[in-house]
Structure 1
Amino acid sequence: MMHSNIRHIIFDLGDVILNIDIPRTVHAFSLLTGRSDEELFLLFRENELFRRFETGSLSAPGFRNLVREVLEMPQLQDDQIDTAWNALLLDIPPARVTLLQQLATRYELYLLSNTSSIHIDKVNLILKESSGVPQLHDLFKKVFLSYEMGIMKPDPVIYEMVLEQAGIEAQHTLFLDDNHDNIIAANRLGIQTIHVQKPPTILEYLVPYA
């Protein structure tokens, strides 16, 4: 790979910039409902809660109402649902924010995330508390969020939309994601990619570009 060809860098959010732990959300709902993690995982999957919310087919109120319906717990309050839903969101290490700010002096930075409005509101709070940066939009030239775009990775159309709306070319673009399917889909369009896998973080992966 020729690093000198890269002009634009697109970042995934979860486990790339923000540390996450998805089972924590399932367990948080388990504590609320008394049901097992395994039963809840199946319920969420069968009702496509993540996909429907993260593609914008459900609004935040619609999502909360569906959660109450699926869990058969109409008494659940909005804040209880939001807190459990956000349990998977951990922290944003300040060093990663500093790296993004340094990279922004040399490259155009973009964010592309499969996410929901409830998560993004919480992520912005985490970001501000950890680094003083008010919101994700302050770190990137443009932020692309699945629930606003109506489509999710790894659908190739979402990458085509990003390239077109950002006005950038695939061959001059680097994409970082922790999901292998997302990486493959981007790579097929000619986008250069880095599959972020723990324990290394973007601090180590992006040494050649810093």
Structure 2
Amino acid sequence: MKNDKIKNIIFDLGDVILNIDVPLASLSFADLSGKDQKEVLTIFRENDVFRQFETGFLSEADFRNFVRSILNNNEWDDHIIDKAWNSLLLDLPLERVELLKKLSQSYRLFLLSNTSSIHITQVHKILHAATGIEKLDDLFEKVYLSYEMGLMKPDIRIYQQVLDDSGLSAEETIFLDDNLDNINGAAKLGIEAIHVQKPLTILDYLKDYAV
């Protein structure tokens, strides 16, 4: 049901705007290293790879060298690591972009994503190939990325920073994310948080706002 107080909509990226398959990245690194996928996941988790890269603690070069180190292979070129890391990024359905364009006529739109610079570079390539649009910034009033902010969802500070930076009222804002922890983090500030769950998409959740 439509909330008539809503003036702003904040979108997550992965599995909200862009389709992703997260396990594909660990599977790609498993294939490269000859290790079991579960072992690769354990190594990544124990070394806090995702958080370090997606909060900007590691630069692209640092990340690649870190992966070479923890997976014991110093012969991988940068593009090999990038390709494996980006393998989880799938397609960007055109109808979601058309929905964003329609919503932007009545609402202020923002993006808030836990991501890395390597992923964003690839996302822009996928976006341009699918729609002719150069970058995410062309679809949103402002794009907020974890690696630039030094914070990750569901840290409540990242939502507050978005609200403060763009002058948004929580009560006038919807946030859509596929991760329940992220939804709960936003809800703590009074944001109307919508948990996007397959097979439903943002076209289903926001149909009342796109009329």
Verify same fold: TM over 0.5: yes
Q: If the length of structure 1 is used for normalisation, what is the TM-score?
A: 0.99
- Report the alpha carbon displacement of residue 40 of structure 1 after superposing the two structures with TM: 0.2
1:172 and 2:175 matched: no
Contact 2:92/2:127, CA 8 A, preserved across alignment: yes
Unaligned runs of 5+ in 1: none
* Cα distance between partner residues in 1 of 2:92 and 2:111: 15
Name the counterpart of 2:132: 132
Q: Tell me the C-alpha RMSD between the 2 structures.
A: 0.7
* Cα distance between partner residues in 2 of 1:180 and 1:103: 24
- Report the alpha carbon displacement of residue 137 of structure 1 after superposing the two structures with TM: 0.3
Residue identity opposite 2:105 in structure 1: T
SS at match of 2:163: helix
1:86 and 2:73 matched: no
- Report the alpha carbon displacement of residue 179 of structure 1 after superposing the two structures with TM: 0.5
Name the counterpart of 2:154: 154
* Cα distance between partner residues in 2 of 1:188 and 1:74: 44
* Cα distance between partner residues in 2 of 1:93 and 1:2: 24
SS at match of 1:5: coil
Name the counterpart of 2:186: 186
Residue identity opposite 1:18 in structure 2: L
Residue identity opposite 2:137 in structure 1: H
* Cα distance between partner residues in 2 of 1:18 and 1:30: 24
Contact 1:3/1:208, CA 8 A, preserved across alignment: no
Residue identity opposite 1:69 in structure 2: S
Unaligned runs of 5+ in 2: none
Deviation per CA, 1:104-163, whole angstroms, max 9, x where unpaired? 011000000000000000000000001111100000000000000000000000000000
* Cα distance between partner residues in 2 of 1:202 and 1:173: 15
Residue identity opposite 2:168 in structure 1: I
Contact 1:137/1:143, CA 8 A, preserved across alignment: yes
Name the counterpart of 2:51: 51
Name the counterpart of 1:37: 37
Q: Give the length in aligned residue pairs.
A: 210
Contact 2:2/2:209, CA 8 A, preserved across alignment: no
Name the counterpart of 1:60: 60
Name the counterpart of 1:204: 204
* Cα distance between partner residues in 2 of 1:35 and 1:53: 22
Identity %: 56
Contact 2:9/2:174, CA 8 A, preserved across alignment: yes
* Cα distance between partner residues in 2 of 1:162 and 1:205: 22
Contact 2:180/2:195, CA 8 A, preserved across alignment: yes
Name the counterpart of 2:26: 26
Contact 1:114/1:152, CA 8 A, preserved across alignment: yes
Residue identity opposite 2:182 in structure 1: N
Contact 2:8/2:173, CA 8 A, preserved across alignment: yes
Residue identity opposite 1:137 in structure 2: D
* Cα distance between partner residues in 2 of 1:31 and 1:86: 14
Residue identity opposite 1:91 in structure 2: D
- Report the alpha carbon displacement of residue 2 of structure 1 after superposing the two structures with TM: 5.2
Name the counterpart of 1:121: 121
* Cα distance between partner residues in 2 of 1:196 and 1:157: 22
